[in-house]
Structure 1
């Protein structure tokens, strides 16, 4: 989920659904689509089914959704590792109860079709 409309390379309007934050604040989902991120290690990650939620203050990646589409998630002693096909996609340390992915930049490119060996990793 993200509030950043300009991160979407494709987004379809969606009305009527909401998400609830930890403080029980209801936030409306206004669209669902694709976000292409460029990570600090120059890998590109295509996120599918990303919800556009304008009221969010942070971007959220669902570990449950990653698990559903074939990623392995390992968390132990404050360290998170996300793996697909024996490739480590992301590692992060826990800070104040959250695994924060820093230095993730919106890709400058339009959605392109590349293979995984060219550093595009499809989520």
Structure 2
């Protein structure tokens, strides 16, 4: 337990990204059709809120949390790349919706999560003690 608390203190950014990604996957899985709005980007909504997209997000998020808890840092880079891809898709979808007149603040959240992922990938190991 003490080791887990230590890992959380020095690497909380990665854990936040993993938990957030899992939560988004659960949300899309629990609420099919969440993005279903005929007046918005129909070409992407059929992908984002379907199990084909939500299940890998859910699995990737949960695996990231489990590997974090076990201290398996060797898989970190692969998961950060996966998380960056997922959140970039969200950012582009939300930004497209905002740019086409459907104002929302979700693109800001998705952009900031992309920034966090980038900074964790760039500086994450410098906090190791």
**TM-score, structure 1 as length reference:** 0.23
Q: Which has the higher helix share?
A: 2
Indicate the structure whose relative CO is greater, using CA pairs within 8 Å and at least 6 residues apart. Answer: 2
Whose strand fraction is larger, Structure 1's or Structure 2's?
A: 1
Choose 1 or 2 for highest CA Rg. 2
